[in-house]
């Protein structure tokens, strides 16, 4: 997020000096996908489709700031200034009373988690299990609460993150290193039925215990797979019959995926990169009312010159780092 310094001649909704938040995906607002609120699938903002189309059966996604060249190669926002294409669609004015640190996380972590909970079609009385207590996982937990979940159960291994889940989302927690089986623990906690919805907010870099985790590590070492799918497999197996699996974690080519369990249990699976523009008005309203304040995710602050140190801490999860904020 930041303050607008200049605008181009085609920008009509914004003015110099506006404080805005910018979702991480760049969208045109006019294509079929944008018109159907599937913003991260925009047809017109990926400048290098030839790098991505072979990976997605000939399809492409929207471009994204600070991601790989397969997603457009746009420079990220860790800079004093950033150019925002399609600014009328991609800049949202931050209301008075919403602090900068709160607005900052509405660009990616909050809308991703919120979308993940929205995918679950949560009903009053539902139990939602969330794998991962990073920024996205914590936002998914809080969002599930906002949408009416009676119980939220968080799975992670870091004590400080599990404490955040209890404190900020009111979640019950499971330290997966302290139990013999996450699946059995969840079944016990839900009277043998399983959670109504399961959210994977971990992705391809999942850690775990037991033979399946060892299997993934060996196959990675032999370059026979790219992803460690422990969290995703657990979520599939734990979810109740007829329940919903919401996948927010990033994956490439996962091996040993339990499709048979999904089909035979009659599960619904939803997944996407975040459609931030679809949720921004709601998120800003929640933030203005004090119903959702993700500012606590900023556990560390650095200057831009110290950014490599911040990334190293974030990667290795040292010193309790959840998110590192860089101040230009």
> What are the φ and ψ backbone dihedral angles of 141, each rounded to 5 degrees?
-65, -50
Mean pLDDT of 208-228: 66
Residue 317 has pLDDT above 70, yes or no: yes
d(CA 119, CA 38) in angstroms, rounded, equals 13
- Kindly indicate the confidence band of residue 115, based on its pLDDT and cuts at 50, 70 and 90: very high
The pLDDT of residue 225 is: 60
Distances (CA, A) of 220 to 212, 227, 256: 12, 7, 13
Contact 25, 273 (CB under 8 A): yes
Mean pLDDT of 46-60: 93
Residue with tokens 């993150």: 161
Q: CATH 3.90.180.10 spans which residues of the chain?
A: 2-93
Residue 222 has pLDDT above 60, yes or no: no
- Kindly indicate the confidence band of residue 309, based on its pLDDT and cuts at 50, 70 and 90: very high
Mean pLDDT of 225-230: 72
Beta carbons within 8 Å of 54's beta carbon, 6+ residues apart: none
CA 51 to chain centroid, in Å, comes to: 23
- The pTM (predicted TM-score) of the whole model is 0.93
- CA proximity to 99, closest of 15, 19, 16, 4: 19
| pLDDT digit string, tens, across residues 174-205 | 999 999 999 999 999 999 999 999 999 998 67
CATH 3.40.50.20 fits 2-93, yes or no: no
Q: Strand, helix or coil at 233? A: helix
Residue 239 has pLDDT above 90, yes or no: yes
- Kindly indicate the confidence band of residue 217, based on its pLDDT and cuts at 50, 70 and 90: low
CATH 3.40.50.720 fits 109-271, yes or no: yes
Mean pLDDT of 233-241: 97
Residue 3 has pLDDT above 80, yes or no: yes
% of the chain exceeding 90 in pLDDT: 81
d(CA 42, CA 22) in angstroms, rounded, equals 16
- Kindly indicate the confidence band of residue 327, based on its pLDDT and cuts at 50, 70 and 90: confident
The pLDDT of residue 220 is: 63
% of the chain exceeding 70 in pLDDT: 94
């Amino acid at each position: 997020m930041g303050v607008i310094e200049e605008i181009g001649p085609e920008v009509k909704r914004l003015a110099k000096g506006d404080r805005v938040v910018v979702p991480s995906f760049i969208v045109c607002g006019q294509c079929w996908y944008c018109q159907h609120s599937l913003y991260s699938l925009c047809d017109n903002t990926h400048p290098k489709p030839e790098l991505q189309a072979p990976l997605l059966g000939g399809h492409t996604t929207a471009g994204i700031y600070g991601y790989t060249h397969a997603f457009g190669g746009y420079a990220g926002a860790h800079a004093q200034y950033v150019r925002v294409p399609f600014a009328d669609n991609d800049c949202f004015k931050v209301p008075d009373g919403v602090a900068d640190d709160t607005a900052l996380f509405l660009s990616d972590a909050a809308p991703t988690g919120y979308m993940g909970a929205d995918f679950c079609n949560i009903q009053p009385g539902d139990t939602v299990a969330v794998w991962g207590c990073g920024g996205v996982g914590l936002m998914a937990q809080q969002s599930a609460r906002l949408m009416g979940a009676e119980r939220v159960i968080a799975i992670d291994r870091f004590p400080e993150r599990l404490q955040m889940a209890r404190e900020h989302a009111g979640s019950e927690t499971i330290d997966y290193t302290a139990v013999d089986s996450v699946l059995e623990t969840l079944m016990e906690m839900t009277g043998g039925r399983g959670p109504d919805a399961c959210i994977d907010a971990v992705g391809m870099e999942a850690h775990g215990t037991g033979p399946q985790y060892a299997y993934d590590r060996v196959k990675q070492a032999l370059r026979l797979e790219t992803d460690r799918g422990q969290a995703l497999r657990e979520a599939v197996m734990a979810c109740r019959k007829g329940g919903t699996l919401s996948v927010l974690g990033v994956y490439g080519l996962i091996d040993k995926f339990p499709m048979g369990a999904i089909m035979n249990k009659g599960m619904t699976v939803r997944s996407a990169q975040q459609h931030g523009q679809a949720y921004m008005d709601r998120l800003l309203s929640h933030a203005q009312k004090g119903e959702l304040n993700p500012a606590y995710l900023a556990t560390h602050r650095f200057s831009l010159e110290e950014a490599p140190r911040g990334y190293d801490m974030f990667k290795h999860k040292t010193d309790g780092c959840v998110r590192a904020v860089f101040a230009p």
